[in-house]
A and B are shown apart, each in its own frame.
Chain A
Amino acid sequence: DVKVTQSSRYLVKRTGEKVFLECVQDMDHENMFWYRQDPGLGLRLIYFSYDVKMKEKGDIPEGYSVSREKKERFSLILESASTNQTSMYLCASSFLEGTGGAYEQYFGPGTRLTVT
């Protein structure tokens, strides 16, 4: 069974704090993803990594950065949290397809982040 874990289920932070969200997968997947999900807006891709130390901006990267030092671990960093970053954050992983298509993504349980 594919397992993707996230460091926290619920997190409350203050405006201006630096926030780290961590994700670990145990399936040797090359690809890892960070999404946020908001009512009415659906799932939106923040950042994508296809290999260690490699990253690619998604659709809404502003205000976020990422780190991938090991294949199984992908971290999302909010340098200075703001209230508009209150959301559900979802990590996912998949095998590399590499010819324009995509393989199935498997999701972690999510972190509900509240910034006050």
Chain B
Amino acid sequence: QKEVEQNSGPLSVPEGAIASLNCTYSDRGSQSFFWYRQYSGKSPELIMSIYSNGDKEDGRFTAQLNKASQYVSLLIRDSQPSDSATYLCAGDMNRDDKIIFGKGTRLHILP
């Protein structure tokens, strides 16, 4: 069974600190990975996509991909209360345009 796994949390982080979210995946042939943010009652919103090993930075967000170890992470610098949400990791799992989502990690930024 192809899977994307995340710790469900909640992960509590003080305001201004770095939040680190992690995700592992089962299919070594996967090429594409995504991080989405989902506020309660809302739909997922794309934050970052990453396709190559290494780091990709966009503002306060950095996605990291390590294909050898089959993990993806998302760092959020200078965390704000508005970052409190559920973060979904997703990967293609070699499924031809379809992606599999993890169940999400709930992040709580403490003011």
Contacts and interface: CB of A to CB of B under 8 A. Distances in A.
Given A97-B32, A101-B32, A42 B104 contact: yes
A103 B32 contact: yes
Contacts of A110: 42-43
B73 to A, nearest CB: 18
A97 B92 CA distance: 11
A100 B29 contact: yes
Contacts, number: 64
B50 to A, nearest CB: 11
A33 B46 contact: no
A94 B97 contact: yes
B42 A100 contact: no
A105 interface: yes
Which secondary structure characterizes the binding site on chain A? loop
Interface residues of A, number: 26
Contacts of B88: 42-43
Given A104-B46, A107-B43, A110-B42, A40 B103 contact: yes
A74 interface: no
A9 to B, nearest CB: 10
Contacts of B94: 100
A69 B51 CA distance: 32
Nearest to A44: B101
B96 A100 contact: yes
B45 interface: yes
Nearest to B91: A102
Contacts of A40: 103
B92 A102 contact: yes
A102 B104 contact: no
13 contacts: A42-B103, A43-B88, A48-B97, A50-B97, A96-B97, A98-B96, A101-B31, A104-B34, A104-B46, A104-B49, A105-B34, A106-B46, A109-B43
Interface of A: 31, 33, 40-43, 45, 48, 50, 58, 90, 94, 96-98, 100-110
